[in-house]
Amino acid sequence: LGFQPSLTGRQNVRINGLLLGLRPKEIEECIPQVIEFSELGDAIDRPIGTYSTGMSARLAFSILTAVNSDVIILDEALATGDVGFVEKGRTLIRSFSRSGSTVLLVSHNMQEVQSVCDRVIWIDRGVVQEDGDADDVVRHPLVATIVRAYDRHGKQSNGGA
């Protein structure tokens, strides 16, 4: 999702809803759910440019979760936000997965991956290194090394996990 900083959160919900294929009536029906899940309250009517990174991430995640989709792609979806929101997000991701939706979670946070995924595909430099049970793949020694390097330097210094 992309946001226009000069528009309010509510206006950005409408634009992103259209981009995700919702009809205007469907968007209006899901706005209360987005506001409630994101916990933004009255801030929904302020320009996105005034939002913190966490507030923007909450809104983006909330928009995606309001759309009934067979496939949900989340890239570092829960990397920002307070502990309560992160847990609420994890619970919702698990719920999507249990309901039959495919959730593709891209993350360098192995605890997050382990807590919400049954299956993990480890890709390094575009090549599948391992595909299997989340606990087995996450515990691979090289994955742990790469993640530690990522955490320590703020970027990956020796490949992708």
Chain segment 31-63, per-residue pLDDT in tens: 999 999 999 999 999 999 999 988 998 898 889
pTM, 2 dp: 0.71
Of 33-42, 116-125, 148-157, give the range with the top mean pLDDT.
33-42
Q: How far apart are CA 48 and CA 4, in angstroms?
A: 7
Q: At what angle do helices 53-66 and 83-98 cross, to 10 degrees?
A: 20
Q: How far apart are CA 55 and CA 88, in angstroms?
A: 15
Cβ proximity of 57 and 21 under 8 Å: no
Q: At what angle do helices 9-19 and 53-66 cross, to 10 degrees?
A: 40
Percentage of residues in the chain having pLDDT higher than 90: 30
Buried b (16+ CB within 10 A) or exposed e, 105-128: bebbbbebbeebbeebebebeeee
Task: Compute the average pLDDT of residues 14-30.
Answer: 94
Q: Which of 28-42, 55-69, 96-110, 146-160 comes out lowest in average pLDDT? A: 146-160
Task: Compute the average pLDDT of residues 131-143.
Answer: 82
Q: How far apart are CA 31 and CA 90, in angstroms?
A: 21
98 falls in which pLDDT band (50, 70, 90)? confident
Q: What is the pLDDT of residue 81?
A: 63
- Is it the case that residue 156 has pLDDT exceeding 50? no
- Is it the case that residue 157 has pLDDT exceeding 60? no
Token pair, residue 7, equals 């528009």
Token pair, residue 47, equals 């320009």
Q: Which of 44-53, 70-79, 94-103, 120-129 comes out lowest in average pLDDT? A: 70-79
For the chain, give the mean pLDDT.
82
Indicate the burial class of 155 (C-beta count within 10 angstroms; 0-12, 13-18, 19 or more). exposed
